[in-house]
Amino acid sequence: MTSGALLKELRQTNPLVQCITNYVAMNIAANVLLAAGASPAMVSDAEEAGEFAGLAHALTVNIGTLSGPFVEGMRAAIAGAQAAGKPWVLDPVACQATGLRRRVSAELLARQPTVVRGNASEILSLAGETSRGQGVDGRDGVEVAEAAARALARQTGGVVAVTGAVDFVTDGSRAVRIGGGSPWMPLNTALGCSLTCLCGAYVGLGGDPFEATVAALSHYAVAGSHAHEGATGPGSFAPRFLDALHNLAPEALDAGAELRVLEDAA
Amino acid sequence: MTSGALLKELRQTNPLVQCITNYVAMNIAANVLLAAGASPAMVSDAEEAGEFAGLAHALTVNIGTLSGPFVEGMRAAIAGAQAAGKPWVLDPVACQATGLRRRVSAELLARQPTVVRGNASEILSLAGETSRGQGVDGRDGVEVAEAAARALARQTGGVVAVTGAVDFVTDGSRAVRIGGGSPWMPLNTALGCSLTCLCGAYVGLGGDPFEATVAALSHYAVAGSHAHEGATGPGSFAPRFLDALHNLAPEALDAGAELRVLEDAA
Amino acid sequence: MTSGALLKELRQTNPLVQCITNYVAMNIAANVLLAAGASPAMVSDAEEAGEFAGLAHALTVNIGTLSGPFVEGMRAAIAGAQAAGKPWVLDPVACQATGLRRRVSAELLARQPTVVRGNASEILSLAGETSRGQGVDGRDGVEVAEAAARALARQTGGVVAVTGAVDFVTDGSRAVRIGGGSPWMPLNTALGCSLTCLCGAYVGLGGDPFEATVAALSHYAVAGSHAHEGATGPGSFAPRFLDALHNLAPEALDAGAELRVLEDAA
């Protein structure tokens, strides 16, 4: 299916996405999902996270503001999602930065996420390579993480997306680069985290996770390009971006997506 | 008193509202209160929540991102508010979704909130009826919850507000429908949660809770209508809405409120 | 160094600032840092906060939404920052309001923050004087807290900044008043908290903390004045402010800063 067809399906289905995300991202991630056509629910407490995962179309897990209770909630939610046959997406924020993050991200990766989305520094680190990342900002270019992403996808059996100026998506055999977006995007906090949630919305439709991830990233990139027009800084970009996510027509998504297919083993 | 008179009083009093709300809502709820003319304080830890409730004009309690520590803070805060004779408002977010939410919302309801504000799915669920809600989005129309709202108001002895395309407010005898607002409002996350906080600001003035709730919902709806003009999506709506909450004159509130009084037993 | 020279250095260095801040502030504080030219990381859990402080250029600690786990994280992070020779900034939000806040703010103050930034009510309270503050909003004018700020600076050996309509910065000997800004700023929640984080970014450059604090406050005030033009309320101010923080040129900062040097013992 084309990304445009998936966008149309997203708006008809209005998938419920359970987001365990960090405190910085919660508001903007919910607004991104609502604008795009999905329904967010930030449910993370271990006492209800597993139960709720059975109700949702997909789960997303983000380690941005990590703590013991969050990790317990992540475990419960992933178990619930897997028991119910629902896809889940991992966002390994700054997984290279501390011992806690390295430990938790390795544990979560072993639970075989349907999709991993991170910046190049995070994907390199998850794949066991050295990154130059500081804090939560990646310092590595996407291209240096492409081989690591392929290896990681073969390891998890899922999709890996590396996002940056040009995004890269692979399932270990197929691979695509996606251009577009805006230089104001990395100056808006948690837009990467929010994109992870949008990947959850698309994979929650139940189709091919590779196509779903490409659709989510393309929707984001085309909307980012549209929002860039007329913006005069990161602040004026933000409301334009939500408008553009909402107003993007399926045909405009297919026409505007800057895709470059690298390989197709399918 | 008219809603306009209450708005004028709100801006003179600048009531301090203690908000125990969810992580998604905290920032926008605070901005809504500041724009409207009140003073927010997000104080939820059990160690200080009860003490703080004695300082505030009103308390609001929202179960959106529930957890054990939040519940302990809610209990302490409600006890503190009631000991000090301060009103409190309950927002039973997605109370139908999980066992934890059903249990906590029932416990809080039994503590007799001055006002309950929810969407139709939540009010139906609180009243013991079946709802079609998924996640945090209501799927039921406000009109199907009017009887449940009346029953609930008689049970708590307080006010119940059901919000949606057209709002409904009742204290068990009096009832009113409130039109206006904008279709962009449900696409902005946590605007319902923020409205709960604004109800707290108006009931914190100490007058009739029914009139206060009508004023809060009318202020919101008229500001929403004003903000709709010129907005091109949910993103551009948001800053316009805060401007409109701030700039709405008391006379314009009374002139613009789309009220339909259904019964008046007073 | 002039504030403009420090702004230039900020954008070249892109300092990593570890922010332990409240849930209301996390998103806007991160966006303020990104717009200004720094790199935020909200890392607060005790298990990793001390380790992370060794990676960051500076630490900021804010008690806005206080709880036991937050306090443990603050202690670990401050210890880590001090062990690594990194500066740290304290924001004593509403420290006069409850017993918990008075106790925690006194404990943190004893750990000798490089900079304390608060409103007049908070600085008066920290200095042991009586304030008229309610909740998180200061009710005292900056000028009534100038003597308290000087005394506090001598006590901690660091810098104290009192912010309001006109800001005041002192290190106990030097002192300056800074005008500018916009009346929409106090109607945008957590802009004070975000300014604390920006102080962290400037002191993280490693130079004189007094000059760094003056630069942070001047950057904020000039950007606020620029953003005020064309804004029609607190909502439309917010995106303009982020744009202005980003777009402010070093020369325009030096030309636009409304500084009044009161004393210079250096």
CB B169 within 8 A of CB B159: yes
Q: How confident is the model at residue B140 (pLDDT cuts 50, 70, 90)?
A: confident
Q: What is the mean pLDDT of residues B68-90?
A: 98
DSSP A10-64: HHHH--EEEEE--TTTHHHHHHHHHHHT-EEE----HHHHHHHHTTSSEEEEE-T
Which residues of B are less than 8 Å from A182 in CB distance? Answer: none
In whole angstroms, give the CA distance from residue A64 to residue B100.
Answer: 25
CB B164 within 8 A of CB B154: no
pLDDT tens for B91-107 read: 999 999 999 999 999 99
Q: Of C256, C205, C244, C259, which Cα lies nearest the Cα of C7?
A: C205
**pTM value > 0.90:** yes
Q: What tokens were used for B215?
A: 């004023």
CB A74 within 8 A of CB A89: no
In whole angstroms, give the CA distance from residue A151 to residue B152.
Answer: 57
Q: Of B61, B10, B9, B5, which Cα lies nearest the Cα of B38?
A: B10
Contacts of A among chains (3+ CB pairs under 8 A): B, C
Which residues of C are less than 8 Å from A62 in CB distance? Answer: none
Out of C39, C44, C47, whose CB is closest to A137?
Answer: C39
Task: Provide residues of A within 8 Å CB-CB of chain B.
Answer: 16, 18, 23, 26-27, 30-31, 34-35, 39-45, 47-48, 51-52, 55-56, 69, 238-244, 246-247
pLDDT, position B139: 65
Q: Compare all CA atoms of chain A with the CA of B25 and give the residue at the minimum distance.
A: A27
> Could B67 and A51 be called an inter-chain contact, meaning their C-beta atoms sit closer than 8 Å?
no
Contacts of C among chains (3+ CB pairs under 8 A): A, B
B15 min Cα distance to partner chain C (Å):
10
> Could C247 and A232 be called an inter-chain contact, meaning their C-beta atoms sit closer than 8 Å?
yes
pLDDT tens for C127-185 read: 998 776 656 666 678 999 999 999 999 999 999 999 999 999 999 999 999 999 999 99
Q: What is the mean pLDDT of residues A123-149?
A: 82
pLDDT tens for C9-62 read: 999 999 999 999 999 999 999 999 999 999 999 999 999 999 999 999 999 999
Which residues of B are less than 8 Å from A246 in CB distance? Answer: 187, 233-235
Which residues of B are less than 8 Å from C232 in CB distance? Answer: 243, 247
Q: What percent of chain C has pLDDT over 70?
A: 95
Could you give the angle at which helices B234-247 and A26-36 cross, rounded to 10 degrees? Answer: 120
The neighbouring-strand residues paired with B160 are: B116, B170
A22 min Cα distance to partner chain C (Å):
9
pLDDT, position A141: 87
Q: How confident is the model at residue B141 (pLDDT cuts 50, 70, 90)?
A: confident
Residues that constitute the known binding site of A for ATP:
117, 163
pLDDT, position A135: 60
C249 min Cα distance to partner chain B (Å):
26
A194 min Cα distance to partner chain B (Å):
13
In whole angstroms, give the CA distance from residue B76 to residue B54.
Answer: 11
| One-letter amino acid for residue C222 of the chain | V
> Could C233 and B35 be called an inter-chain contact, meaning their C-beta atoms sit closer than 8 Å?
yes
Which residues of A are less than 8 Å from B232 in CB distance? Answer: 243, 247
Out of A190, A235, A239, whose CB is closest to C35?
Answer: A235
Q: Is the pLDDT of residue C265 over 60?
A: no
pLDDT, position B266: 42
Q: Hey, where are the domains in chain B? A: 3-263
pLDDT, position C131: 72
Q: Is the pLDDT of residue A266 over 50?
A: no
> Could C238 and A234 be called an inter-chain contact, meaning their C-beta atoms sit closer than 8 Å?
no
pLDDT, position A264: 55
Which residues of C are less than 8 Å from A189 in CB distance? Answer: 27, 30-31, 34, 40
Q: What tokens were used for A204?
A: 């929650």
CB B210 within 8 A of CB B169: yes
In whole angstroms, give the CA distance from residue A237 to residue A232.
Answer: 7
> Could A41 and B94 be called an inter-chain contact, meaning their C-beta atoms sit closer than 8 Å?
yes
Is C190 labelled as part of a ligand binding site? yes
Q: Compare all CA atoms of chain B with the CA of C240 and give the residue at the minimum distance.
A: B239
In whole angstroms, give the CA distance from residue B262 to residue B244.
Answer: 28
Q: Is the pLDDT of residue C266 over 60?
A: no
Cβ-based burial of B182 (10 A; exposed 0-12, middle 13-18, buried ≥19): buried
Question: Which CATH entry fits the domain spanning B3-263: 2.120.10.30, 3.30.230.10, 3.40.1190.20, 3.40.50.11540?
Answer: 3.40.1190.20
Categorise residue C60: left if φ over 0, alpha if ψ from -120 to 50, beta otherwise: beta
pLDDT tens for B143-180 read: 999 999 999 999 999 999 999 999 999 999 999 999 99
pLDDT tens for B226-258 read: 999 999 999 999 999 999 999 999 999 999 999
pLDDT tens for C195-247 read: 999 999 999 999 999 999 999 999 999 999 999 999 999 999 999 999 999 99
- In the block, which residue shows the tokens 């808006």? A188
E strand or H helix at C190, and its extent?
none
B43 min Cα distance to partner chain A (Å):
16
pLDDT, position A20: 98
pLDDT, position B263: 66
Q: What tokens were used for B170?
A: 């009742």
